[in-house]
């Protein structure tokens, strides 16, 4: 599906042909995001953890992570955030990512860390749950969990269980440990009833997790223009307290 981009002098409006649109502005978080993410070449893989004992200590840089069902587009999203095509491995086949993988943003010592994770659900890695639970419960530098859902699917039982659990954790800490935000992926695959599908998905997310911040709609087609990347970057910057 073709993507188009309409430019004006102070703002850039990006649209998907299904009608979804956002405007990139010059807010302080937009400026900070531009500065922090501009040097894509400095992003670096730091470490992978297959179990709790191998979780790295990384100078207390703020972290964000992006769980979701297998194949929802977690690694593609983080490649787009980092401005890299293939720093993270992606695959058409579900179950590609097998460990928690830590990537530094910005040259050493870095500004923040993004953490890719294995997929959950029937096509994911079954034993990853214990590691992920340990990680989110004990990781003091974890600032936000971006939970991913595909625009073309509704919420499954595992998605709802995950949202309920994360919501309970945010509620019990009052959001002082981490906050929760949804990202809707693969919006380029939506057809005529796309808006309706996204509206019901947003409603279902809110019902399962009232503390979840409003979903960001994204599309990172393998050979197309990314959509939503500025909003995701700005949100990361805000969640990590890096807006200038
Ligand atoms: N059309 C389209 N395809 C996408 C999008 N995001 C990811 N994909 C494709 O979806 C497939 C899975 O993407 P990954 O990023 O590997 O997904 P993942 O969630 O990391 O998968 P696992 O690590 O296996 O759990 C790949 O073929 C990607 O090219 C998107 O926004 N639009
Ligand atoms: Mg992956």
> Is 6 among the domain residues?
no
Whole-number pLDDT of residue 5: 40
Q: Which tokens hold the place of 95? A: 């179950």
Mean pLDDT of the chain: 88
Distance 42 CA to ligand 2 centre (A): 21
Return the ligand 1 atom nearest residue 227 CA. 31
- How does pLDDT run across 124-155, given as a tens digit for each residue? 555 678 889 899 999 999 999 999 999 999 89
With a cut of 50, say whether residue 2 has pLDDT above it.
no
- Whether 92 is in a domain gets the answer yes
Please check whether residue 223 lies inside any domain of the structure: yes
For residue 42, the model assigns a pLDDT of 92
Q: How remote is the CA of residue 89 from the centroid of ligand 1, in Å?
A: 10
- Provide the pLDDT for residue 55: 94
Amino acid 10: pLDDT: 54
Q: Could you tell me if 81 and 37 are in contact, meaning their C-beta atoms sit under 8 angstroms apart?
A: yes
Rounded to 10 degrees, what is the CA torsion of 117, 120, 125, 126? 130
How many angstroms is it from 22 CA to the middle of ligand 1? Answer: 22
The 10s digit of each residue's pLDDT in 117-128 is: 998 866 555 567
Query: Which ligand 1 atom is the nearest neighbour of the CA of 186?
Result: 31
Is residue 173, in this structure, part of any structural domain at all? Answer: yes
Q: What pLDDT does 3 receive?
A: 42
User: CA-CA distance, 39 to 34, in Å (whole number)?
Assistant: 9
**Do the domain assignments include residue 2?**
no
Residue 120 resides in a domain: yes
In 3D, which of 33, 80, 82, 84 has the Cα closest to residue 240? 33
CATH number at residue 191: 3.40.50.300
Residues with CB under 6 A from ligand 1: 68, 70-76, 90-92, 94-97, 118-119, 185-186, 188-189, 219-222
Could you read off the pLDDT of 176-215 as tens digits, one per residue?
889 999 999 999 999 888 899 999 999 999 999 999 999 9
Domain tally, the chain: 1
124 CA closest ligand 1 atom index: 25
68-120 pLDDT, tens digit each: 999 999 999 999 999 998 999 888 888 778 899 999 999 999 999 999 999 88
Compute, in angstroms, the gap from residue 6 CA to the centroid of ligand 2. 31
| Range of the structural domain that residue 184 is part of | 44-239
Token pair of 132 as six digits: 């992920």
Q: What's the pLDDT score for residue 124?
A: 53
Q: What does pTM read for this prediction?
A: 0.91
Q: Give, using CA atoms, the residue closest to atom 4 of ligand 1.
A: 221
Say whether pLDDT at 7 is over 50: no
The atom of ligand 1 lying closest to the CA of 222 is: 29
pLDDT (0 to 100) of residue 123: 57
pLDDT digits (tens, 9 = 90+) for 12-62: 777 787 778 877 666 888 899 999 999 999 999 999 999 999 999 888 999
* pLDDT exceeds cutoff 60 at 157: yes
Q: 97, 116 in Cβ contact below 8 A? A: yes
| First-residue to last-residue Cα distance in the chain | 36
Q: Is residue 17 part of a domain?
A: no
* Ligand 1, atom 7, residue with closest C-alpha: 73
Report percent pLDDT > 90 for the chain: 66
Q: How far is the CA of 26 from the centre of ligand 2 (A)?
A: 32
In the predicted structure, residue 242 carries a pLDDT above the cut 90: yes
Q: How far is the CA of 232 from the centre of ligand 2 (A)?
A: 18
Residue nearest to atom 21 of ligand 1 (CA): 71
Domain assignment of residue 222, yes or no:
yes
């Amino acid at each position: 599906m073709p993507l188009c981009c309409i430019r004006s002098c102070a703002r850039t409006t990006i649209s998907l042909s299904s009608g979804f649109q956002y405007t990139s502005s010059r807010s302080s978080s937009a400026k900070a995001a531009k500065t922090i993410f501009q040097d894509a070449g400095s992003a670096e893989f730091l470490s992978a953890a297959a179990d709790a004992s191998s979780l790295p200590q990384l100078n207390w840089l703020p972290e964000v992570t992006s769980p979701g069902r297998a194949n929802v587009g977690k690694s593609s999203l983080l490649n787009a955030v980092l401005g890299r095509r293939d720093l993270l491995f992606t695959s058409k086949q579900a179950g590609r990512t097998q460990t928690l993988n830590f990537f530094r943003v910005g040259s050493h010592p870095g500004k923040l860390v993004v953490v890719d994770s294995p997929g959950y659900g029937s096509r994911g890695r079954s034993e990853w749950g214990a590691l992920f639970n340990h990680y989110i419960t004990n990781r003091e530098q974890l600032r936000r969990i971006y939970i991913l859902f595909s625009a073309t699917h509704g919420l499954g039982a595992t998605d709802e269980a995950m949202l309920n659990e994360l919501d309970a954790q945010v509620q019990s800490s009052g959001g002082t440990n981490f906050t929760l935000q949804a990202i809707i992926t693969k919006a380029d695959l939506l057809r005529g009833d796309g808006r309706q599908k996204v509206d019901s998905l947003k409603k279902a997310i809110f019902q399962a997790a009232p503390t979840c911040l409003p979903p960001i709609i994204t599309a990172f087609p393998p050979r197309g223009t990314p959509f939503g990347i500025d909003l995701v970057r700005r949100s990361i910057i805000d969640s990590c307290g890096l807006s200038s």
